[in-house]
Structure 1
Amino acid sequence: MTGEEPSRTVPDPTDHSPRKVITVPVPSLLAVFAHPDDESLSAGGVLARHASAGARTAVVTATWAEDTPRAAELAEALRILGAGAPRMLGHADARAPHSAPGSPRFCDAPLDDLVGQLVAHIREFRPDIVITHDAYGGLTGHPDHVHTHRVTALALEAAGLERLYPDAGEPWHTRAMYMATHPHSAMAVWGDHWAPTGKAMYTVPDERVTAAVDVRPWLEQKIAAVLAHRTEVTRGAAPGLIAALPAADRELLLSTEWYIRHNPVSTGAAQTELTS
């Protein structure tokens, strides 16, 4: 059961009276990311924003085992963001076999098993919106990110079909999937900071971006969640890059989150032929 979602009030655009407001539901969010820290870097602001408005939020993490230091860091980051307890699928990181001893790499696990695992989380949480990586796997193009995108897209469709994974709970139709991304124009900000890493950057044309969300009111929470991933700060990964920056540069890099919307279920009128 989802219960009633919280609401917020905004000015009614059809009435110029300052007292006139309309009620807008605050959608629940389930974020699905590959590694501990991806949730904070890619969607920490949106998660904090929705949680602060009273919406239900949660995060599924594809890799790393529950008894590892990074799992404890993830728990702290989610506490800061108001996103509940970790939901970890427990598979190994493609580049860190020790992340889940005895478990297959996420990219090597049977696809049907991965989709079934995620369907169970979707049907149990029953989110309005699911957030995940874009088809490139974000800026880095990490193979775990790319595979998480694929598995999430398949699981969203499967979760709404009663004959698929019948033991995973009652069917649930998520209203929208938002894919965390970076537009080409963001490289004017990110490029100088990313270039020293020597890694390729995967971005999309600006016209592909559906939503550019200003998360500055929640930036302090987002940065605290990023820095909670202390292992990654120490080894100089993306959280380490953020930790080394002055406050003004942190704001420049992290104050906007970009998303591409995909509708898992068509809401258009029934057609009698295929159209482009």
Structure 2
Amino acid sequence: MPAPPRRARRRLLLVHSHPDDETITTGGTIARYAADPDTSVTLVTCTLGERGEVMVPELAGLTADQADQLGGYRIGELAGAAAALRLTDRRFLGGAGRWRDSGMVTLEGVLAAAPPAEQLHPRAFCADNQRAAQIAALAEILAEVAPQVVVGYDPSGGYGHPDHVRAHEITMAAAAAAPGVRKVYWTVAPTADVSAGLDELAGAAEHGLPWRLASPNELPCVPDDMVTTRVDVAPQLDAKIAALRAHATQLTVWVGPPGSGKLAYALTNEIAQPVLRTESYTLVGAAGSVRPVRETDLFDGIED
């Protein structure tokens, strides 16, 4: 009988709500650690993103209010993004389609809130009666993978989407009960970085930027002192851009003239956001308390 494959010394697991979330907020981080032969990276995606809008007019018939085939299509987009990031271990929580994208109510800019309860699908990811089963499903994956580091969302889910909020809840609960988890991070966008990214895009309309530029209050940001860990992903930027482009139904990437350094993406709302060259995190304790450190590596302090 062949010997089982050797377990990587360092193990990272990320929990994301929909296909494309993994690339937008953590794509560079995934690419950085996936390239390390002694680090395994596992992505858990909680839904298929069935309630998303569609950026490509000829694919508009896939949406939930028409053929309702968008979720299946986005499985393929996620596979393309994973290939660009060199990510090989990706899983759907509870199996593909077990929980359904809950949808959202759009607020200012890209901010969101939960739809009325009566509008939720019976299998909606954010449904109250699904929480315990979701925690159990994630706990099963954690027990198998045994990651030392887990990445999820902050309590607001980044921008308020109810599926992101639920992903935060189950990540914190499952990680707290997993004895091998040494560090839990929230993926965050610091105000200073977002503001600097928007400043870099100033005047981009003159270079062909096809969307209006977001204002700072339209984008989800946290105070700079909430950031404990900053991962330089400039060397992984090409991989991240390729992964973003794989999610073509959901977003479009714009690259400015050579040498300009201008780089943006837009979701279906056509509001331009900067693609940052640093991905930032908050290291937290089991109860969500911020741990006062300053790091550049998610595995700082982990020796086994």
> What does residue range 37-52 of structure 1 map to in structure 2 within 5 Å?
37-52=20-35
1:213 maps to 231
1:261 maps to 283
Q: Which amino acid aligns with 2:282?
A: I
Per-residue deviation, 1:198:
10
2:46 maps to 62
Per-residue deviation, 1:2:
8.5
How has the CA–CA distance of structure 1 residues 110 and 4 changed in structure 2, closer, same or farther, with 3 Å as cutoff? closer
How has the CA–CA distance of structure 1 residues 259 and 85 changed in structure 2, closer, same or farther, with 3 Å as cutoff? same
How has the CA–CA distance of structure 1 residues 197 and 204 changed in structure 2, closer, same or farther, with 3 Å as cutoff? closer
Identity, % of aligned pairs?
33
Whole-angstrom CA distance in 2 between matches of 1:245 and 1:156? 38
Whole-angstrom CA distance in 1 between matches of 2:246 and 2:14? 18
Q: Which runs of 5+ in 1 are unaligned?
A: 7-26, 161-172, 234-239, 267-276
1:148 maps to 167
Q: Which runs of 5+ in 2 are unaligned?
A: 51-69, 105-114, 116-120, 202-211, 265-273, 290-304
Q: Which amino acid aligns with 1:5?
A: A
How many corresponding residue pairs?
222
> What does residue range 163-202 of structure 1 map to in structure 2 within 5 Å?
173-191=180-198, 196=214, 200-202=218-220
How has the CA–CA distance of structure 1 residues 253 and 94 changed in structure 2, closer, same or farther, with 3 Å as cutoff? same
Alignment RMSD (CA, Å)? 3.0
Q: Give the TM-score, by structure 1 length.
A: 0.71
Per-residue deviation, 1:189:
3.2
Q: Is the 8 A contact 1:49 1:215 kept in 2?
A: yes
Per-residue deviation, 1:190:
4.7
- 1:104 and 2:123 equivalent? yes
Whole-angstrom CA distance in 2 between matches of 1:63 and 1:204? 26
2:86 maps to 82
Bigger helix fraction: 1
Q: Which amino acid aligns with 1:83?
A: L
Structure 1 residue ranges (4+ consecutive) displaced by more than 6 angstroms after TM superposition:
none
Q: Is the 8 A contact 1:35 1:61 kept in 2?
A: yes
Q: Is the 8 A contact 1:179 1:261 kept in 2?
A: yes
